[in-house]
A and B are shown apart, each in its own frame.
Chain A
Amino acid sequence: MEVLFRESGIYLPEIDLWLDNTEPCACTWISHGHSDHARGCHGKAIGTPVTLRFYRMRLWLGENNTEPVQHPLEFSESMDWNGARLTAFPASHILGAAQLLIQYKNERLVYTGDIKLRRPLAGETTQPLQCDRLIIESTFGLPIYKLLERDAAVSAIVHFARECLADGVTPVFIGYALGRGQEIVHVLCEAGIPTAVHGAIAKFIPVYEECGYGFNGWEPYDARATEGKALVVVPSHSSTLEVSGKAVRIAYVSGWAALDNARTRSGAEELIPYSDHADFDELLSLVTLSGAKDVDVVHGYTEPFAHILRTRGFSAAAPQRAGDRTSVEAEG
């Protein structure tokens, strides 16, 4: 099947379908709700029900104010599309994230979207898929990136919060508005730590709650009442806290926190290298488990990771396209 890598997304001309197109188009698959994947007012949007919900929450309808036609696809559910069969499978990333299996004329193509292999703090767990051709991300596609497993991340988050509170200092966690933010809040709530949450993160909590994740006892962030609480804020808010005159210690929970230089870049003292993206070993496992003959690497360290795959005998390429930079909101 022909695959075209374009600046705004990936296009499959034989079945006239886009994958994560960020510009308005006739029809696109949306892998998950981050705004560098789910945006633009399309004619038709296909995605899991949760992803479509995040997409709607952030959508600006444009001047004609017409909502896209939405086609929800549950996990393991299939649909026919222009002679191909599309099936959604869980991807460990943010809530609702999915891989798409496209079966067309005896070929199996898998588009992972943003993915990790291991179980996330909150969200579904990846089901590895076999295919002929794999399109995979490589946000952390260098061997220096070995990230924490779920349990280790939970204990690092909880330990930091308790250590700060015991010292009379306010622990502040930097998390992204959608995904990491709710994951951290979920972990803190489960540990029974009083938690105040920035509005940009709080607005997505109800969706997580409906999917069965516990968020007992959090409250909205109020600058005047932070004593004895852990704060979860978006990155842009942390510098405001730094000059607030309050005694705070900041933790940065991110894959980028795997490197010491993340301290200077984030202003955080504590680094917790946990991500909703696969680390290097997970990426290698995903590729190996897929059994794919051909691998296309999109997002992140595409060229170095494709090079590494080639040295290990895979037929791998890093298709040229713009937009391989880290977005502001998410790590992918």
Chain B
Amino acid sequence: MDRLAAACEDIQRHASRLKKVSILAEYFKTLDSQELALAVQFLSSGPLGRGNPTLFETGEKLQLKIGRSVLREALRVATGWDKETLSVCHAQVGDTGETVCLLMRGTSAEEPLGLLAADDLYQELFDARTTARRVELLAAAFRKYQPLTVKYFVKIITRGLRIGLMARQVQEAVAAAGGATARVAARLFHPLDLMLAKPLERVEDLADPAEWLIEDKYDGMRAQVHFDHGVVRIFSRNMEEITQAFPELVNEFGGLPGNGLLDGEILAWRAGRALNFNVLQRRLSIKRARATLVAEVPVIFMAYDLLLRDGEMLLGEPLSRRREKLEELRPTMISRQHRVGSRAEVDRLFSEARARGNEGLLLKKPDSVYEPAKRGGAWLKLKRPYGTLDVVITAAEQGSGRRATVFSDYTFAVRAAQGFVNVGKAYSGLTDEEIKDLTRQLRSASTEKFGRMMLVKPEVVLEVAFDGVQRSTRHKGGYALRFPRILRWRKDKRPEECDDLGRVEALYQASVE
């Protein structure tokens, strides 16, 4: 835990993502597999894990009942500072863990704390029956361990490390540290990082199409359903709980026997096909769905993987076996799988998927194991851009990390009856050299600056590819492009020559009809 804290401090000092990953990987290399699993858990999902008595406790019971008031009381007890002073201090710092660290410096016993001991301590806090006991345990820990360690011990409880480290980078660091030692476990009612697919640019790049199981790639919301004898919880890809928004899914999985954990996609569904993502979005924007909305926008869960079944962990099983188990479970919808013999057939499946309104195809190796958060070669996605547009840059923002010194994020617009209207924002696609040139040109076209952002005269034309058009209340024109990326800088085009709002509207209409 002491070294985890030191690594976190060091990570804060670097804006470069690569550097963050390498610091973390160096630290991970020093851990054994049990410690590594704990470190990953602390950095990505929170304080409780290993010590739980069974795999199947419900989520409610796993909450550490420690809020701000308990932490502040513990700090008061540990430091002797009065509430008034503590509250001014906390207001300046803005983070409880950091406040504890700053106030305990020079007054704690600075004993070492290992990862396993930290885990035990969390467990002890979890088992504590009264608030008084929790305060006592925390205050004792504040006095005993190194303040920097306590800082992160508390941040893990308050669930905000705030060191600019993303879940993906933790996984990258695990991989960089030698990966295999990190055995990730799936636990019921604990959201899991889902496995990801690597983009496949062209069908021609597939060595042997017969090696793959092929499914439609849906344009919905990736989700995981956890169920156990009538108790159901649904989590998003970002591990947020979204159970309340989908009562019909709770109903469906509440009726299944035993327990399980499924990976799949939530889709707005009517007349045998998925509706545009925009329709589904009406459900996503509401935390607790009302009956009228449920009737208006019905959703289904398109299951495509089963990771746990009746207590048996399936992550390490090949996809083909997980699929058999999934079919035995018989949820309402299971994604159809195809096997083909030629690239031409892949092309045909792709066109059919598109005709059904889906994004493209997913290709999966039948013998592949389920690797959470991994974007390896075992799953591929084929999605080809929906279209391309010529757009003009209207605003630019400084990037982060390696791109902190240049304007690398661009808001772009199409022509409208009066002037230009924004339809999206893109970050990637240009080389560093191009970004540097573009920065120079945009700075001379700047009309107004706000911090790291500036508005520019519409001069620079880009060609962007995107995966769809959606309605947007954020942009004045009423539309936004999905997943836009820059194909090239059209130095040959003038802003008057870029596409107009009419074209965007037409593309949208085509997608909903």
Contact = CB atoms under 8 A, between A and B. Distances in A.
B162 interface: yes
A133 B94 CA distance: 35
B501 to A, nearest CB: 31
A107 to B, nearest CB: 31
A144 B89 contact: yes
Contact of A142 (B92, B95, B402): B92
Interface string B133-158: 00000000000000000000000000
A270 B12 CA distance: 8
Interface in A284-308: 301, 304, 307-308
A253 B85 CA distance: 26
Given A259-B92, A311-B82, A144 B99 contact: yes
A142 B85 contact: yes
Interface string A260-285: 11010000011100000000000000
A247 B436 CA distance: 12
Given A243-B439, A269-B14, A308 B93 contact: no
Contacts of A311: 82
A241 interface: yes
Contacts of B440: 245
Interface of A: 142-146, 241-249, 258-261, 263, 269-271, 301, 304, 307-308, 311
B405 A241 contact: yes
A142 B90 CA distance: 10
Contact of B13 (A142, A144, A261, A269): A269
B88 interface: yes
A294 to B, nearest CB: 21
6 closest residue pairs by CB, A with B: A144-B102, A304-B88, A144-B89, A245-B436, A269-B15, A245-B406
Nearest to B89: A144
Contact of A144 (B82, B103, B106, B436): B103
A245 B440 CA distance: 9
B84 interface: yes
A105 to B, nearest CB: 37
B94 A261 contact: yes
B93 A243 contact: no
Band of interface residues on B: 20 to 34
Contact of B85 (A146, A246, A260, A304): A304
Interface in B422-443: 436, 439-440, 443
A242 B405 contact: yes
A142 B88 contact: yes
B93 A261 contact: yes
Interface in B283-318: none
Contacts of A259: 92-94, 98, 102
A144 B89 CA distance: 7
13 contacts: A142-B88, A143-B89, A143-B103, A146-B106, A242-B405, A243-B398, A243-B407, A247-B402, A248-B405, A259-B94, A261-B95, A263-B12, A307-B84
Nearest to B14: A269
Contacts of B406: 243, 245
A242 B404 CA distance: 7
Interface in B46-100: 79, 81-82, 84-85, 88-89, 92-95, 98-99
Interface string B93-135: 1110011001101100000000000000000000000000000
Contacts of B162: 260
Nearest to B106: A146
A301 B91 CA distance: 12
A244 B404 CA distance: 10
A146 B79 CA distance: 15
A270 B406 CA distance: 20
B98 A246 contact: no
